């Protein structure tokens, strides 16, 4: 389905401008930094906690919260794959070169996934390492990568991030401007983070069913729903966004 030449061209476009490359690095760097920061806070809490609280201490939950911030960067990465063309006016030449519009959208989705996945693996891996090492160094409980909870985060986390990059791409195609797409994406993705300020039932709804909330719940296996369902919710949502974006893109003047 993917024409390899068009995919190669997407990579050339992506790798030949600084913004996208810097953003990719920022995802990894921010992940490491947040892993360390949140682990420091967690370790401090642990040090001053009561014996009962110490028993309830979860070495992964609190320290991987950085994902809720890094998700904004990874989604912006997807946004840029679309909007860097609109911003610089290269969509015309790109379409004139590629022809059939589906070929361009599929190549963009393929390239976004192929970049976002390794970047997310690196980012979440680094977040895990910095956080667990920091916990260990300060005498708090920590996990080894082989622990089932850790494995889930390390394997499924990058997939969730990749899906959020694809969500960004769909928004970029729909809204055609970096600022608009990043604003909408960030607001949307922060809803589950803001959940605690909403009334209880709304807050519960947000963390359980809001697409990225559901995705993160699947990663941390803390969902009221079976993880497969939580995860499926996110996948379904991103698929619907892409169908909408593609339908619009195929019928609109470039």
Partner 1 sequence: MIQLTALTKRYGDKTAVDDLTLLVRPGVVTGFLGPNGAGKSTTMRMILGLDLPTSGTATINGRAHHELPHPLRTIGSMLDARAAHPRRTAYKHLLYQAQTNAIPATRVDEVLDLVGLTEVAGKPAGSFSMGMTQRLGIAAALLGDPPVLVLDEPVNGLDPEGVRWIRALMRGLAAEGRTVLISSHLMSEMAMTADRLVVIGKGRLIAEGEIGDFTAAGSAVAVRTPESGVFARLLELAGAHVRPGPDDELLVTGMEAADVGRLAAAEGVTLFELSVRHASLEETFMELTRDAAEYGAAR
84 touches partner 1 by CB under 8 A: yes
Any idea of the CA torsion for 42, 47, 49, 51, to the nearest 10 degrees? Answer: 120
Q: Which of 62, 94, 112, 230 binds partner 1 (CB under 8 A)?
A: 94
CA–CA separation, 37 and 130 (whole Å): 9
CB of 32 to partner 1, least distance (A): 27
- C-alpha to C-alpha distances, 62 to 19, 39, 154, 164, 198, nearest whole angstrom: 30, 8, 15, 21, 20
Residue 213 CB burial class (10 angstroms; 0-12, 13-18, ≥19) = buried
The nearer residue to partner 1, 28 or 111, going by C-beta atoms, is: 111
CA–CA separation, 155 and 161 (whole Å): 11
Write out the binding residues for partner 1, residues 96-115 only, by CB under 8 A: 96-101
41-62 burial, b at 16+ Cβ within 10 Å, e below that, comes to ebbeebeeeeeeeeeebebbeb
Q: Which of 2, 41, 90, 228 binds partner 1 (CB under 8 A)?
A: 90
CB of 89 to partner 1, least distance (A): 4
CA–CA separation, 216 and 71 (whole Å): 10
CB of 107 to partner 1, least distance (A): 8
Residue 201 CB burial class (10 angstroms; 0-12, 13-18, ≥19) = exposed
The nearer residue to partner 1, 18 or 50, going by C-beta atoms, is: 18
The secondary structure of residue 197, as a DSSP letter, is G
Q: Which H or E run includes 90? A: none
- From 52-60, 90-98, 121-129, 157-165, span contacting partner 1 (CB under 8 A): 90-98
248 touches partner 1 by CB under 8 A: no
178 touches partner 1 by CB under 8 A: no
CB of 10 to partner 1, least distance (A): 8
The nearer residue to partner 1, 26 or 70, going by C-beta atoms, is: 26
Binding mask 6-45 for partner 1 (x = CB under 8 A): x-xxx-xx--xxxx--------------------------
The nearer residue to partner 1, 15 or 187, going by C-beta atoms, is: 15
Binding positions for partner 1, rule: CB under 8 A: 3, 5-6, 8-10, 12-13, 16-19, 84, 88-90, 92-101, 251-254
């Amino acid at each position: 389905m993917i024409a390899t030449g068009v995919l190669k061209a997407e990579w050339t476009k992506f790798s030949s401008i600084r913004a996208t490359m810097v953003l990719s690095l920022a995802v990894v760097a921010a992940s490491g930094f947040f892993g360390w920061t949140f682990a420091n806070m967690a370790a401090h809490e642990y040090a001053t906690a009561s014996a009962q609280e110490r028993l309830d201490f979860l070495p992964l939950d609190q320290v991987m919260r950085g994902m809720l911030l890094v998700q904004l960067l990874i989604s912006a990465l997807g946004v840029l794959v679309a909007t860097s063309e609109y911003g610089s006016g290269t969509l015309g030449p790109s379409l004139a070169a590629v022809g059939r519009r589906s070929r361009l959208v599929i190549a963009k989705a393929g390239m976004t996934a192929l970049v976002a996945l390794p970047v997310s693996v690196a980012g979440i891996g680094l977040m895990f390492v910095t956080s667990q090492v920091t916990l260990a160094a300060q005498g708090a409980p920590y996990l080894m990568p082989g622990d089932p909870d850790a494995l889930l985060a390390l394997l499924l986390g990058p997939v969730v991030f990749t899906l959020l990059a694809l969500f960004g791409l769909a928004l970029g195609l729909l809204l055609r401007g970096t600022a608009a797409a990043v604003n909408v994406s960030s607001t949307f993705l922060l809803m589950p983070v803001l959940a605690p300020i909403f009334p209880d039932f709304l807050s519960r709804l947000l963390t359980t069913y809001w697409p990225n909330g559901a995705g993160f719940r699947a990663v941390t296996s803390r969902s009221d729903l079976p993880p497969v369902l939580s995860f499926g919710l996110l996948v379904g949502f991103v698929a619907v966004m892409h169908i909408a974006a593609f339908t619009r893109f195929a019928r609109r003047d470039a």
